Homo-oligomer: A and B are copies of this chain.
Amino acid sequence: MTDAPALSPQRLRHAYRQMRLIREFEERLHVEIATGEIPGFTHLYAGQEAVAVGVCEQLGDGDYIVSTHRGHGHCIAKGCDVLGMMKEIYGRRDGLCKGKGGSMHIADTSKGMLGANAIVGGGPPIAVGAAIACKIRGNRQVSVAFGGDGSANQGTVFEAMNMAVVLKAPVIFVMENNGYSEHTGAAYAIGSCDLAGRARGFGMPAECIDGADFFAVYEAMGRAVARAHRGEGPTTLEAAITRFYGHFEGDPQNYRAKDEVARHRRTMDCLQRFRARVEADGSVAIADLDAIDAEATDLIDRAVREARAAPAPVEADLYTDVYIQY
Residue ranges of A at the interface with B (Cβ–Cβ < 8 Å): 153-159, 161-166, 188-194, 197-204
Which of B157, B188, B198, B203 is A202 in contact with, Cβ under 8 Å?
B198
Which of B163, B166, B190 is A162 in contact with, Cβ under 8 Å?
B190
Output the least CB separation between A220 and chain B (Å): 20
Which of B153, B164, B166, B199 is A188 in contact with, Cβ under 8 Å?
B166
Who on chain B is nearest to A164 by CB? B191
For the complex, what is the distance from the CA of A194 to the CA of B157, rounded to whole Å? Answer: 18
Output the least CB separation between A209 and chain B (Å): 19
Who on chain B is nearest to A234 by CB? B191
Output the least CB separation between A277 and chain B (Å): 34
For the complex, what is the distance from the CA of A63 to the CA of B162, rounded to whole Å? Answer: 32
Which of B165, B189, B201 is A201 in contact with, Cβ under 8 Å?
B201
For the complex, what is the distance from the CA of A197 to the CA of B202, rounded to whole Å? Answer: 8
A-B CB proximity, top 6 nearest: A155-B155, A201-B201, A165-B191, A192-B203, A158-B158, A191-B203
Who on chain B is nearest to A203 by CB? B192
| 5 additional A-B residue pairs with CB within 8 Å, beyond A164-B191, A199-B201 | A153-B162, A155-B158, A191-B202, A198-B201, A200-B201
Residues of chain B within 8 A of A190, CB atoms compared: 162, 166
Residues of chain B within 8 A of A188, CB atoms compared: 166
Contact (Cβ within 8 A) A155 B153: no
Output the least CB separation between A307 and chain B (Å): 38
Residues of chain B within 8 A of A158, CB atoms compared: 155, 158-159
Contact (Cβ within 8 A) B191 A166: yes
For the complex, what is the distance from the CA of A293 to the CA of B123, rounded to whole Å? Answer: 55
Output the least CB separation between A155 and chain B (Å): 2
For the complex, what is the distance from the CA of A109 to the CA of B161, rounded to whole Å? Answer: 35
For the complex, what is the distance from the CA of A240 to the CA of B308, rounded to whole Å? Answer: 64
For the complex, what is the distance from the CA of A106 to the CA of B157, rounded to whole Å? Answer: 31
Q: A155-B156, A155-B158, A159-B155 are in contact. Are A197 and B191 (CB under 8 A)?
A: no
Who on chain B is nearest to A190 by CB? B162
